[in-house]
Amino acid sequence: MIQNRVRMPEYLRRGCARKLQTVETSNIFRAILASLLEEDWTTPNVVELLFSREHRLLGRSAGAVSFKAFHCAQRGLIRNIHGIAAVAELDGDELGYLLGRVAKIKVA
């Protein structure tokens, strides 16, 4: 039973990645989703995400020293995730996993 709990997040991560990878979206949103799911779908790859104190999303690419601001606020990111989740037909657990990943993004 405990082993299933440990494996569940990985199972959800892989399910989200499989479903979302096929959905057409902007390269920036694709990079953000890939970062949330610890995938490498874009070049450059976003390796770290932060929210500013003003709730703006910041991202750091592989090899970059500093963060760059995305034209996306926390609310907009959550709204966009709900929208793409419907298109990708994520189930409730998969959507919850993805929103949980957003909730874990640190504030700078």
**pLDDT confidence bin for 1, thresholds 50/70/90:** very low
- Containing structural domain, residue 30: 2-107
Task: Please write the tens of the pLDDT for every residue from 38-77.
Answer: 999 999 899 999 999 999 999 999 899 999 999 889 999 9
Q: Count CA within 13 A, CB hemisphere, residue 47.
A: 8
pLDDT at 8: 81
**How far is residue 32's CA from residue 59's CA, in Å, rounded to a whole number?**
8
DSSP 72: E
> Which spans in 21-73 are helix H?
27-36
Phi, psi for 87 (deg, rounded to 5): -65, -40
Q: What is the pTM of this model?
A: 0.90
DSSP 52: -
pLDDT of 80 > 90? The answer is: yes
How many domains are contained in the chain? 1
Say if residue 6's pLDDT is above 90: no
